[in-house]
Amino acid sequence: MPFSHKPLNLALLTLILLLGIPILGESQRNLSHLSVTAQTVEELKQEGDRLLDLGIEQYQRSQIRDALQFWKQALVIYQQIGDKAGEGGTLLNLGTVYSDLGEYAQAEQFYQQSLLISRQLGNTVGEGKTLLGLGLVYTSLGDRAQAEQYYRQSLEISRQIGNTAGEVISLFGLGNVYHSLGEDAQAEQFYRQSLLISRQLGEKAAEGFSLFGLGNVYNSLGEYAQAEQYYRQSLEIFRQLGDKGREGSTLGKLGNVYYSLGEYAQAEQYYRQSLEISQQLGDKGNEGSTLNNLGTVYNSLGEYAQAEQYYRQSLEISQQLGDKGNEGSTLNNLGTVYTSLGEYAQAEQYYRQSLEIFRQVGDKREEGITLRNLGNVYNSLGEYAQAEQYYRQSLEIFRQVGDKVGEGSALLGLGLLYENLGQYAQSEQSRRQSLEILQQLGDKVGESTALLSLGSVYGSQGEYAQAEQYYRQSLEISRQLGDKVGESNTIEALDGLGSVYNSLGEYAQAEQYYRQSLEISRKLGDKREQGRTLHNLGTVYDSLREYAQAEQYYRQSLEISRQLGEKAGEGISLLGLGNVYNSLGEYAQAEQYYRQSIEVREQLRPGLTDEQKISLFEQQKSTYELLQTVLIAQNKPDAALEISEKGRARAFVELLAERLSDNREIPVTVTPPNLRDIQQIAAAQQATIVQYSYIREDFTFGNLERFGESELYIWVIKPTGEMTFRRTDLKPLWQEQDSSLAKAIADARCFDNLACLNNIMVSQSREETTEVRSGGGLFNYQAQDEQARPVSQQENRELKQLYQLLIEPIADLLPTNPSERVIFVPHNALFLVPFPALQDARGQYLIEKHTILTAPSIQVLGLTRDQKQAQTVVNSDILVVGNPTMPVVGTEQLRALPGSEQEAREIGQLLNVTPLIGSMATKATVVQQMQSSRIIHLATHGSFDPNIPLDSWLALTPSGSDDGLLTAAEIFGLNLNAELVVLSACDTGRGKITGDGVIGLSRSFISAGVPSVLVSLWKVPDDSTSLLMREFYQLWEESGDKGQALRQAMLTTMQQYPNPVNWAAFTLMGEAE
């Protein structure tokens, strides 16, 4: 909960006093055995009793420090006159004071001394009360087992001596234990038992406290109507009894209920009534907690100055009283004020102070709230790894204690984090879970926020109709709520609707929504939302080509982002300014802003997982492309190449460097390569490197403005270090043929539907390029009699067109010696190109002219070479797997692959090794043998999941509890020392195409330590695969060069099976030697 809730320790002691359990029994007043004079003893006894009573009076008024002083004086007197009973009772009270102060070690010490005296005197009543105190201490420490033990001992004593009042108190204490630990079902059971006995006894005070406890249970569960009912019954009893203190506390609880329901005016009314009573009574403790709650109301209304004033008054009182619980809550709430103001450093400071206190006192629920708030701070600052850590800790605690409101808020935080990282599926999942929880609780504010967040995630994915629907639902609720909290969500809903219309090109409508949003955010002083809306207005004017106006808005947004320390917002505003100057043809200025944008946004990467880095980069990769365009416009091809390389396979590079560091004393550090580094890699590879950049931009097509592929940048780096830049204009594909390079690739690699599942389309948007297959399910079973069919004229035209676009512009720069290597570094859809099959105008295939390899980036080439050189242990084993006993996937029984079995037997015979066939090829056996193998050859089904690439798998034989599926994620976690992995069956080269390259099985094997991986881009017929593989292994053994061996194997296979579908699918990634 965002408000403070006062500990129940005071309620428990008050209940003890109200039920008339004497602190000192009659037998304790018999002092005749003392050696001092009767008059002196009596006078001292009277003084001790007077001090004891004064302490109780001060304690009930929450004057805890004063109570402590009176009781310490009383203790000295009782010890002086040898009054063990008085001493024991005073020690009990001192223990309670220190418990309230959060000084639990001191409290326990006093309680244990009191317990010893009570047991020596046979004072079972005092023993029971002391056991209750010890229960309170261990409840606060979060030691449920110890707390429960003491309460149950107290309960047992009370029942043995027929002390129903003590029984009620023990049950109430047990309810408090379980409530503080979030086990509200158990807490409810004890409170109900306490309530039943209280009513049987006619003890109205105990009945009121039991009802109060039940209200707390239902409040924590988010069942506010039920909580209100119990609080109102409790309130009525306390008013009947004239207990103004309890009346004030219960009014505060009713305020909490209405706060949770978003009814802030009603909440404020109850808080003010509670505050008035506290001030009348001089109850500083309740006054402090109520001031805290009033601050929270004003905080939620966006009146931050007023909120801070109340919080500081509350903090001063809490620190005077030593009330750790309320002090922690108030510090936490001050943190939320500064978070709202965008002053994150100050907010973090308050949250950390708060967190320390809550951990000291063992308040798990408030600890969860503070951790969530720290997650919000780090999320806003773009420190996503740290934010995720705090959100997950928070979520775990909320689930442990059963706090559904907290759980919903933590899920919303994670949803925002995942959206910031571009992990939209995870974001939607978290937000839907949150929406369901908040709707069940009737939390209209939370529901409005969750609907907003779902609108945002759909808008980020280009699903604008769905986004608009959620924004409008949120807006309706926000306007119903009214007040400033409604306005806060209204800002975001209006801004979201503006973004929907902006993306649809309806700029006038978008501007209208943005201006409404900006007006409200300025009224509320919400700098974060102002910055976002100003940026969005900049994009509207940018699209309208009103660049002066766009620049003005971008600069205002940039200033706010820098004030707030929000790196993500700063990077986006710098990108906007770069776009303005790019459009104006002021390329040097545009370059400066693009570089600044990249530099700022790269600061968001540290600490992220590999998957998160990839998702985040997908949102940022357009900046690298735009920077390349302005560099080329300034005739800086060298610098453009460096940016092209910097903008690809970054996560892969960092991953490989991390793996290399595992085997070295000094960690491998990687920075994006400059031109000299690139030239050195080309020389080390003894290869000509061809790097492509797929440039997309807005251009005119007929009467339409469209965003799409416009140019292809091509760099050729020779082993000598000579670098040449060429470019291909792709716009004619759109303008003259109503086609695209992506479509040409898709058509060319289908080979008249022999190598695709009915069709392949490469869909393209600003966000991503993905391969989409349809019409055939997961697996590709092709008729074997198709493999010898000759190449059709249509296939020739498609392959020749690709050659014309990709190779012809640089053909004169490629080596004339066919044995010299050419390494292609594709980009986006170019990863789908079957380079060996491309045909020149004379019909000659590219593989006939060159030895071909591919790589996701130039820097990866350098690291795979380092990886090979770092292999200190030379494995000698060879692992060959073919046609395992196929598992069931979902409801589908995977089809056996007899051709793959035959291939494995032939390869095994060639390599002099017994292959793992059928039931022998279990996942456990295969993984074990991988660890010691130099060569790993896997001929089995593979599957690719475009949504979760690390869930892609290779099919092996199920055994025991495993399903037989070896996933990319599991391969990624292995530590392999193999020289080569061959994945010969199905289309094992597939994966999700990202700015980091192809995310799939091949990437996982390279990450696991394998420098060379041979994969296929489609399912190749069995006979030609078998022939090609036999030739490859024989030639590799002879030459020691995998690249040349693959080329010669393709040429041999081509002679018998001329159609490229039979031989062109195989691609060697990584090291050739």
pLDDT, position 762: 37
SS3 at position 217: helix
Cα–Cα distances (Å) from 360 to 96, 98, 356, 412, 492, in that order, read 17, 14, 6, 28, 38
In the chain the first and final C-alpha atoms are separated, in Å, by 63
Encode burial over 444-455: b for 16+ CB neighbours within 10 A, e otherwise.
bbbbbbbbbbbb
- Which of 948, 722, 890, 694 lies closest to 813 in space, CA to CA? 722
State the pLDDT at residue 785.
39
Q: Mean pLDDT, to the nearest integer, of 442-457?
A: 86
What is the mean pLDDT of the segment spanning 738-766?
60
Kind of pairing, strands 821-825 and 851-854? parallel
Residue 201: pLDDT above 60? yes
Cβ neighbours of residue 372 closer than 8 Å, sequence gap 6 or more: 390, 391, 394, 406, 409, 410, 413
In this prediction, residues 329-352 reach a mean pLDDT of 89
Local confidence band at 850 (pLDDT 50, 70, 90 cut-offs): very high
Q: What is the pLDDT of residue 950?
A: 59
Helix axes 793-806, 741-748, angle to 10 degrees: 140
Task: Give 691's pLDDT tier (boundaries 50, 70, 90).
Answer: very high
Phi, psi at 987, each rounded to 5°: -100, 75
Average pLDDT over residues 744-767: 54
- 997 has pLDDT over 80: no
What the block records as the tokens of 127 is: 């023993």
For residues 645-672, average pLDDT: 68
Confidence of residue 765 (pLDDT cuts 50, 70, 90): very low
Mean pLDDT confidence for 623-631: 93
- Each residue of 309-337: pLDDT tens digit? 999 999 999 888 888 888 998 999 999 88
Does 936 score more than 50 pLDDT? yes
Mean pLDDT lowest among 207-216, 770-779, 829-838: 770-779
Q: What is the mean pLDDT of residues 242-254?
A: 91
**Domains with residue ranges and CATH for the chain:** 539-634 (1.25.40.10), 653-858 (no CATH), 876-1070 (3.40.50.1460)
893 pLDDT exceeds 80?
A: yes
Confidence grade of residue 540 (pLDDT, cut at 50, 70, 90): very high
148, pLDDT greater than 70? yes
**Average pLDDT along the chain:** 83
- The tens digit of pLDDT for each residue in 78-91 reads 999 999 988 998 99
For residue 510, give the nearest of 521, 523, 522, 494 by alpha carbon: 494
The half-sphere exposure of 921 on its side-chain side, counting CA atoms within 13 A, is: 29
Pairing of strands 759-764, 723-729: unpaired
Q: What is the mean pLDDT of residues 838-849?
A: 94
Residue 1055 pLDDT: 95
* Range among 123-137, 239-253, 937-951 with highest mean pLDDT value: 239-253
Confidence of residue 27 (pLDDT cuts 50, 70, 90): very low
Average confidence (pLDDT) over 1014-1031: 88
> 24 pLDDT band (50/70/90 cuts)?
very low
Per-residue pLDDT at 547? 94
pTM more than 0.75: no
> Would you say residue 689 has pLDDT above 60?
yes
Higher confidence at residue 375 or residue 747? Answer: 375
How many angstroms separate the CA atoms of 635 and 717, rounded? Answer: 17
- 3-class SS at 292? helix
| The token pair that represents 311 in the structure block | 């919080």
Residue 678 has pLDDT above 70, yes or no: yes
Instruction: Check residues 873 and 920 and name the one with the higher pLDDT.
Output: 920
Name which of 18-22, 273-277, 522-526, 531-535 the model is least confident about: 18-22
Q: Among the listed ranges 686-695, 753-762, 989-998, which one has the minimum average pLDDT value?
A: 753-762
Distance CA 306, CA 699 (A): 52
Confidence of residue 904 (pLDDT cuts 50, 70, 90): very high
| Residue 233 identity | Q
Of residues 38 and 491, which shows the higher confidence score? 491
Lowest mean pLDDT among 546-555, 761-770, 851-860, 929-938: 761-770
Q: CB–CB of 821/1043 below 8 Å?
A: yes
pLDDT at 664: 56
Is the model's pLDDT at 760 over the cut of 50?
no
Q: Quick one: what percent of the chain has pLDDT higher than 90?
A: 40
pLDDT at 767: 37
Q: What is the C-alpha to C-alpha distance for residues 468 and 506, in angstroms, rounded to an integer?
A: 14
How many CA atoms lie less than 13 Å away from 588 in the CB half-sphere?
0
Distance CA(539)–CA(551), nearest Å, equals 9
Which residue has better confidence, 140 or 919? 919
Contact 677, 810 (CB under 8 A): no
What is the β-pairing status of strands 704-717 and 991-994?
unpaired
| pLDDT band at residue 14 under the 50/70/90 scheme | low
What average pLDDT does the segment 582-595 reach? 95
Q: What is the pLDDT of residues 281-309, one digit of tens each?
A: 888 888 988 998 999 888 877 788 899 99
pLDDT band for position 861 (cuts 50, 70, 90)? confident
Please report the pLDDT score of residue 990 as a whole number: 54
Mean pLDDT of 894-899: 87
Structural tokens at position 678:
């690139």
Q: How many whole angstroms separate alpha carbon 451 and alpha carbon 445?
A: 10
807 vs 294: CA distance, rounded Å? 71
Average pLDDT, stretch 958-976?
86
CA distance 664 to 875: 20
What distance separates the 2 farthest-apart alpha carbons in the chain?
A: 128
Retrieve residue 8's tokens: 């129940």
Confidence of residue 338 (pLDDT cuts 50, 70, 90): confident
Query: Residue 124 has what pLDDT?
Result: 86
Residues 943, 953: Cα–Cα separation, whole Å = 5
Instruction: Give the mean pLDDT of 436-454.
Output: 85
